Chain A
Protein backbone atom coordinates (compact mmCIF):
# COMPACT_ATOMS: atom_id res chain seq x y z
CA UNK A 1 0.00 0.00 0.00
CA UNK A 2 1.39 3.37 -1.05
CA UNK A 3 2.01 5.77 1.82
CA UNK A 4 3.04 9.39 1.43
CA UNK A 5 4.68 11.29 4.27
CA UNK A 6 5.37 15.01 4.43
CA UNK A 7 7.83 16.57 6.84
CA UNK A 8 7.55 18.94 8.59
CA UNK A 9 3.83 19.08 9.36
CA UNK A 10 4.12 22.83 10.00
CA UNK A 11 6.76 25.44 9.35
CA UNK A 12 7.12 29.14 10.14
CA UNK A 13 9.89 31.16 8.55
CA UNK A 14 10.67 34.88 8.17
CA UNK A 15 9.91 36.53 4.85
CA UNK A 16 12.73 36.34 2.33
CA UNK A 17 14.15 33.01 3.42
CA UNK A 18 14.57 30.05 1.12
CA UNK A 19 12.93 26.85 2.32
CA UNK A 20 12.53 23.18 1.50
CA UNK A 21 9.49 20.98 2.00
CA UNK A 22 10.00 17.23 2.03
CA UNK A 23 7.89 14.36 0.75
CA UNK A 24 8.59 10.63 0.88
CA UNK A 25 6.66 7.68 -0.55
CA UNK A 26 6.93 3.95 0.00
CA UNK A 27 6.32 2.49 -3.49
CA UNK A 28 8.56 3.79 -6.26
CA UNK A 29 6.32 2.36 -9.03
CA UNK A 30 4.66 5.69 -9.77
CA UNK A 31 3.84 7.51 -13.00
CA UNK A 32 4.16 11.05 -11.73
CA UNK A 33 4.37 13.22 -8.63
CA UNK A 34 2.38 16.42 -8.22
CA UNK A 35 2.67 19.29 -5.74
CA UNK A 36 -0.41 21.33 -4.80
CA UNK A 37 -1.17 24.38 -2.74
CA UNK A 38 -4.32 24.79 -0.67
CA UNK A 39 -5.40 28.01 1.00
CA UNK A 40 -7.74 27.78 4.03
CA UNK A 41 -11.28 26.87 3.02
CA UNK A 42 -10.32 26.67 -0.64
CA UNK A 43 -9.67 24.01 -3.26
CA UNK A 44 -6.41 22.60 -4.56
CA UNK A 45 -4.17 24.52 -6.93
CA UNK A 46 -1.62 22.53 -8.92
CA UNK A 47 1.92 23.90 -8.60
CA UNK A 48 4.19 21.43 -10.34
CA UNK A 49 3.99 18.02 -11.96
CA UNK A 50 7.11 15.87 -12.24
CA UNK A 51 6.82 12.94 -14.61
CA UNK A 52 8.63 9.74 -13.67
CA UNK A 53 11.26 10.25 -16.37
CA UNK A 54 12.11 13.72 -15.04
CA UNK A 55 14.20 14.69 -12.05
CA UNK A 56 12.94 18.22 -11.51
CA UNK A 57 10.55 20.94 -12.59
CA UNK A 58 10.67 24.68 -12.09
CA UNK A 59 8.01 27.38 -12.07
CA UNK A 60 9.03 30.86 -11.00
CA UNK A 61 10.35 30.71 -7.43
CA UNK A 62 9.37 27.05 -7.08
CA UNK A 63 11.54 24.06 -7.87
CA UNK A 64 10.50 20.46 -7.28
CA UNK A 65 12.79 17.46 -7.50
CA UNK A 66 12.05 13.75 -7.70
CA UNK A 67 14.23 10.76 -6.79
CA UNK A 68 12.14 7.69 -7.49
CA UNK A 69 14.76 5.21 -6.39
CA UNK A 70 14.87 6.64 -2.87
CA UNK A 71 11.16 7.51 -2.78
CA UNK A 72 11.71 11.22 -2.15
CA UNK A 73 10.67 14.58 -3.52
CA UNK A 74 11.42 18.09 -2.36
CA UNK A 75 9.75 21.43 -3.04
CA UNK A 76 12.11 24.38 -2.85
CA UNK A 77 10.65 27.87 -2.43
CA UNK A 78 13.03 30.74 -3.02
CA UNK A 79 12.75 34.18 -1.45
CA UNK A 80 9.56 33.36 0.46
CA UNK A 81 6.73 35.93 0.67
CA UNK A 82 3.73 36.26 3.03
CA UNK A 83 1.51 35.26 0.09
CA UNK A 84 3.21 31.85 0.07
CA UNK A 85 1.48 31.03 3.36
CA UNK A 86 -0.71 27.98 2.69
CA UNK A 87 -0.76 24.21 3.03
CA UNK A 88 1.43 22.41 0.51
CA UNK A 89 0.41 18.90 -0.51
CA UNK A 90 2.52 16.24 -2.17
CA UNK A 91 0.74 13.53 -4.17
CA UNK A 92 1.98 10.45 -6.02
CA UNK A 93 0.20 9.13 -9.08
CA UNK A 94 -0.12 5.55 -10.28
CA UNK A 95 -3.63 4.51 -11.32
CA UNK A 96 -4.91 6.87 -8.64
CA UNK A 97 -3.52 9.82 -6.73
CA UNK A 98 -2.47 9.42 -3.09
CA UNK A 99 -1.77 12.45 -0.90
CA UNK A 100 0.43 13.22 2.04
CA UNK A 101 -1.14 15.14 4.92
CA UNK A 102 0.59 18.34 3.90
CA UNK A 103 2.92 20.96 5.34
CA UNK A 104 1.29 24.10 6.77
CA UNK A 105 3.59 26.97 5.86
CA UNK A 106 3.47 30.37 7.54
CA UNK A 107 5.69 33.16 6.24
CA UNK A 108 6.25 35.83 8.86
CA UNK A 109 6.24 39.42 7.52
Chain B
Protein backbone atom coordinates (compact mmCIF):
# COMPACT_ATOMS: atom_id res chain seq x y z
CA UNK B 1 0.00 0.00 0.00
CA UNK B 2 1.16 3.53 -0.74
CA UNK B 3 2.25 5.51 2.25
CA UNK B 4 5.09 6.47 4.56
CA UNK B 5 7.20 3.63 5.92
CA UNK B 6 9.35 4.06 9.02
CA UNK B 7 11.88 1.58 10.29
CA UNK B 8 12.57 0.37 12.88
CA UNK B 9 9.37 0.49 14.97
CA UNK B 10 11.24 0.12 18.26
CA UNK B 11 14.89 0.72 19.19
CA UNK B 12 16.94 0.79 22.38
CA UNK B 13 20.29 2.57 22.25
CA UNK B 14 23.05 3.12 24.73
CA UNK B 15 24.19 6.67 25.42
CA UNK B 16 26.75 7.72 22.84
CA UNK B 17 25.70 5.26 20.15
CA UNK B 18 24.68 6.49 16.73
CA UNK B 19 21.88 5.24 14.51
CA UNK B 20 19.72 6.13 11.54
CA UNK B 21 15.93 6.16 11.52
CA UNK B 22 14.67 5.35 8.06
CA UNK B 23 11.74 7.01 6.30
CA UNK B 24 10.52 6.21 2.80
CA UNK B 25 7.47 7.30 0.83
CA UNK B 26 6.19 6.10 -2.52
CA UNK B 27 3.76 8.91 -3.32
CA UNK B 28 6.29 11.18 -5.09
CA UNK B 29 5.77 13.84 -2.41
CA UNK B 30 8.09 16.83 -2.51
CA UNK B 31 7.84 17.67 1.19
CA UNK B 32 9.12 15.43 3.99
CA UNK B 33 9.51 16.14 7.71
CA UNK B 34 10.67 14.56 10.97
CA UNK B 35 8.96 15.15 14.32
CA UNK B 36 9.45 13.99 17.85
CA UNK B 37 6.57 13.60 20.27
CA UNK B 38 7.05 13.87 24.00
CA UNK B 39 4.41 13.94 26.76
CA UNK B 40 3.20 17.49 27.36
CA UNK B 41 5.31 18.89 24.51
CA UNK B 42 3.24 17.90 21.51
CA UNK B 43 4.77 17.22 18.11
CA UNK B 44 7.93 19.23 17.50
CA UNK B 45 9.57 19.64 14.12
CA UNK B 46 13.19 18.42 13.94
CA UNK B 47 14.12 18.85 10.26
CA UNK B 48 12.22 19.20 7.03
CA UNK B 49 12.83 19.09 3.28
CA UNK B 50 10.95 20.72 0.41
CA UNK B 51 12.67 18.61 -2.26
CA UNK B 52 15.64 16.41 -3.06
CA UNK B 53 18.88 18.10 -2.06
CA UNK B 54 17.15 20.68 0.14
CA UNK B 55 16.86 20.44 3.93
CA UNK B 56 16.22 22.92 6.72
CA UNK B 57 16.12 22.97 10.49
CA UNK B 58 12.95 22.90 12.51
CA UNK B 59 12.31 23.73 16.14
CA UNK B 60 14.59 21.11 17.78
CA UNK B 61 17.40 20.17 15.34
CA UNK B 62 20.31 19.78 17.77
CA UNK B 63 21.75 16.27 17.87
CA UNK B 64 20.15 15.22 14.59
CA UNK B 65 21.28 15.25 10.97
CA UNK B 66 19.28 14.68 7.78
CA UNK B 67 19.93 14.41 4.07
CA UNK B 68 17.60 14.11 1.09
CA UNK B 69 19.44 12.52 -1.83
CA UNK B 70 16.27 11.12 -3.41
CA UNK B 71 12.61 12.16 -3.44
CA UNK B 72 11.60 8.92 -1.74
CA UNK B 73 13.94 8.77 1.27
CA UNK B 74 14.57 11.08 4.22
CA UNK B 75 16.72 9.39 6.90
CA UNK B 76 17.24 10.93 10.34
CA UNK B 77 20.63 10.37 11.96
CA UNK B 78 21.30 10.53 15.66
CA UNK B 79 24.98 11.37 15.96
CA UNK B 80 25.60 10.50 19.62
CA UNK B 81 22.45 9.36 21.40
CA UNK B 82 21.51 10.99 24.70
CA UNK B 83 18.74 10.06 27.18
CA UNK B 84 17.01 13.35 26.24
CA UNK B 85 16.44 11.87 22.79
CA UNK B 86 14.17 9.18 24.20
CA UNK B 87 10.95 9.87 22.33
CA UNK B 88 8.56 8.73 19.63
CA UNK B 89 9.66 9.87 16.18
CA UNK B 90 7.30 10.42 13.28
CA UNK B 91 8.07 11.01 9.62
CA UNK B 92 5.58 12.71 7.31
CA UNK B 93 5.29 13.66 3.65
CA UNK B 94 3.05 15.71 1.38
CA UNK B 95 2.80 17.46 -1.92
CA UNK B 96 3.81 21.13 -1.89
CA UNK B 97 1.82 23.04 0.69
CA UNK B 98 -0.08 19.93 1.68
CA UNK B 99 -1.57 19.41 -1.77
CA UNK B 100 -5.13 18.14 -1.97
CA UNK B 101 -4.70 15.41 0.64
CA UNK B 102 -2.58 17.00 3.33
CA UNK B 103 0.26 15.30 5.15
CA UNK B 104 0.60 11.54 5.51
CA UNK B 105 2.39 10.20 8.59
CA UNK B 106 4.33 7.04 9.22
CA UNK B 107 3.48 4.79 12.14
CA UNK B 108 6.38 6.02 14.26
CA UNK B 109 9.61 4.80 15.83
CA UNK B 110 9.73 4.45 19.61
CA UNK B 111 13.31 5.16 20.70
CA UNK B 112 14.71 4.62 24.17
CA UNK B 113 18.22 5.79 25.07
CA UNK B 114 19.65 4.26 28.24
Contacts and interface: CB of A to CB of B under 8 A. Distances in A.
Contact of A97 (B98, B100, B101): B98
Interface residues of A, number: 21
Interface residues of B, number: 25
A8 B24 CA distance: 35
Nearest to A99: B43
Most chain B Cβ neighbours within 10 Å, of A32, A95, A96: A96
Contacts of B42: 89, 99-102
Q: Interface residues of A: mostly helix, strand, loop or mixed? A: strand
A94 B92 CA distance: 14
A100 B40 CA distance: 11
A31 interface: yes
Contacts of A100: 42
Interface of A: 31-32, 34, 36, 43-44, 46, 49, 51, 89, 91, 93-102
